[in-house]
Amino acid sequence: MIAQIEALQAEVEAFAPKTPAEVEAFRIRLLGKKGSITALFDAFKSAPVEEKRTLGQALNRLKTTAAQRIEELRTALEEAALAAGAGDGAEMDMTRPATAERVGTRHPISLVRNRILDIFGCIGFVPADGPEIEDDWHVFTALNFPPEHPARDMQDTFFVEKDPDILLRTHTSSIQVRVMQNQRPPIRVICPGRVFRNEAISYRAHCIFHQVEGLYIDRNVSFADLKQTILHFAKEMFGEKSEIRMRPSYFPFTEPSTEVDVSCNLCGGKGCAVCKHTGWLEIMGAGMVDPNVLEACGIDSREYSGFAFGMGVERIAMLKYGVKDLRLYFENDLRFLRQFTPVF
Ligand code: PHE
């Protein structure tokens, strides 16, 4: 038995594996359940008493050296394998800071649109949606545009088909027409969407832009309700100190109609380059829904009245973020888009 122990001892010392797998096979052959060292421990139990001392010492030494050598070789070979595979082995530096994941950012137009929807959502306006490709009736006729109105002209509208006229909507008021056709008052909706107009693209005009329009129809809705609703919006969007001013205007679908200005939030109304020294910034069009529009959509104009308003999201974003060139919103340049976080 002592000869066997010495032979194994020599084998352990001479063992020169090339791979971690060889080390593992060696471990199993010696120290595994059916390994030769394990077998020697079994045989040791029945060895003559007078030999037990020497045998026991030799056996324990063999087991310890075998275990140590296997461990050393395994570590050395695993490290060598990693270093070879990883070039400089840098991946295994557990103290190295993780590479930051780049998360996406919201588009400034989405940020502003969502904020507008939030503000109106809090006072009961429910979002409504509609198609971007529309017919003439929903975009113009139902909204009281006379047949010869210039907005119907090829200059402004992108036509998809002629007779019957199918076109890209030029404003999101068409969504409101659809809502009025399908719902009975009280109606309180907020309609966001893309709109299209045949304009030459420049820093201040684009053929695609975004609108949010609102509509409120019920019994006894008055101009005072419109005014308070817009004032509330202006304060939420541009700050508590904001004031609004209404100038008479004209839209075919509202009577009376108004254009709404908000006090310039940059100079506090004193006058600066942004507000062109007027102290005021134009933010939207609005008015009382023309009775003709209500009737066209099947709503009794003697019983119900309502107000509507509409604003350009790019315009509000420009006032909020100071981005003056509209084209930047459509170019998807990451250097531009990554700069935006909610400012609300
Ligand atoms: N639809 C109008 C536009 O596109 C905006 C508007 C909406 C004006 C509702 C008044 C009332 O310019």
Which CATH number fits the domain that encloses residue 163?
3.30.930.10
Q: Is residue 97 part of a domain?
A: no
Residue ID of nearest Cα to ligand 1 atom 8: 285
Whether pLDDT at 344 is above 70: no
Bridge partner residues of 194 (DSSP): 210
How many whole angstroms from 239 Cα to the centroid of ligand 1?
A: 24
| Same-domain check for residues 217 and 311 | yes
Does residue 344 sit within a domain? no
Give helix 2-14 / helix 49-85 axis angle, nearest 10°. Answer: 10
Whether residue 255 is found in the same domain as residue 301 = yes
Question: Do residues 32 and 67 share a domain?
Answer: yes
Same domain? 233 vs 311: yes
Kindly report the pTM of this predicted structure: 0.71
Residue whose CA is at the smallest distance from ligand 1 atom 5: 310
The whole-number pLDDT of residue 183 equals: 95
CA-proximal residue: ligand 1, atom 2 (nearest): 310
Tell me, in angstroms, the distance from the centre of ligand 1 to residue 286's CA.
6
Tell me the per-residue pLDDT of 269-305, one tens digit each, with 9 for 90 and over: 788 887 889 999 999 999 999 999 999 999 999 999 9
Residue 229 has what pLDDT? 98
Give the start-end residues of each E strand in 100-236. 126-127, 133-135, 159-161, 166-168, 187-196, 208-218
230 lines ligand 1 (CB under 6 A): no
Residue 46 lies in a domain: yes
Within 8 A by CB and 6+ apart from 12, the residues are 30, 62, 65, 66, 69
Of the two residues 218 and 318, the one the predictor is more confident about is 218
pLDDT at 91: 58
Does the CB atom of residue 308 touch ligand 1 within 6 A? Answer: yes
DSSP 246-285: EEEEEETTEEEEEEEEEE-TTTTTS--TTTTTSSEEEEEE
Task: List the single range of 83-87, 177-181, 240-244, 254-258 with lowest mean pLDDT.
Answer: 83-87
Note the pLDDT of residue 80. 81
Whether the pLDDT of residue 103 is over 80: the answer is no
pLDDT tier at 97 (50, 70, 90 boundaries)? confident
When divided into structural domains, the chain yields a total of 2
Residues 306 and 199 in one domain: yes
Percent of the chain exceeding pLDDT 90 equals 64
* pLDDT, average across residues 133-156: 88
pLDDT of the residue at 25: 92
Whether 130 and 246 share a structural domain: yes
Comparing CA positions, the residue from 206, 9, 233 lying closest to residue 118 is 233
Q: How far is the CA of 327 from the centre of ligand 1 (A)?
A: 22
Q: What is the pLDDT of residue 266?
A: 78
Average pLDDT, the chain: 90
pLDDT level of residue 20 (50, 70, 90 thresholds): confident
User: Residue 88: which pLDDT band, with cuts at 50, 70 and 90?
Assistant: low
Which long-range contacts does 202-207 make (Cβ < 8 Å, 24+ apart)? 202/326, 202/327, 203/324, 203/325, 203/326, 203/327, 204/324, 204/326, 205/326, 206/314, 206/326, 206/327, 206/329, 206/330, 207/158
C-beta of 108 in contact with ligand 1 (< 6 A)? no
Q: What distance in angstroms lies between residue 173's CA and the mean position of ligand 1's atoms?
A: 7
Do 70 and 133 lie in one domain? The reply is no
- Across residues 254-262, what is the average pLDDT? 96
Q: What is the pLDDT, as a whole number, of residue 65?
A: 92
**Ligand 1 atom nearest to 195, measured from its CA:** 4
Q: If DSSP codes are grouped into helix, strand and coil, which group holds residue 56? A: helix
pLDDT digits (tens, 9 = 90+) for 40-85: 999 998 888 898 898 899 999 999 999 999 999 988 888 887 777 6
State the pLDDT at residue 235. 96
Question: Could you give the percent of the chain with pLDDT greater than 70?
Answer: 96
213, 230, 309: which to mutate for ligand 1, most atoms within 8 A of CB?
213
In this prediction, residues 316-331 reach a mean pLDDT of 88
| Dist. CA 258 → ligand 1 center (Å) | 10
One domain, residues 114 and 77: no
Q: What pLDDT was estimated at residue 322?
A: 82
Residues spanned by the domain of 68:
2-87
CA-wise closest residue to 37 among 69, 12, 5: 5
Q: Please indicate whether residue 156 or residue 257 has the higher confidence score (pLDDT).
A: 257
Q: Residue 173: which H helix or E strand, with range?
A: helix 173-182
Q: Is the CB of 329 under 6 A from ligand 1?
A: no
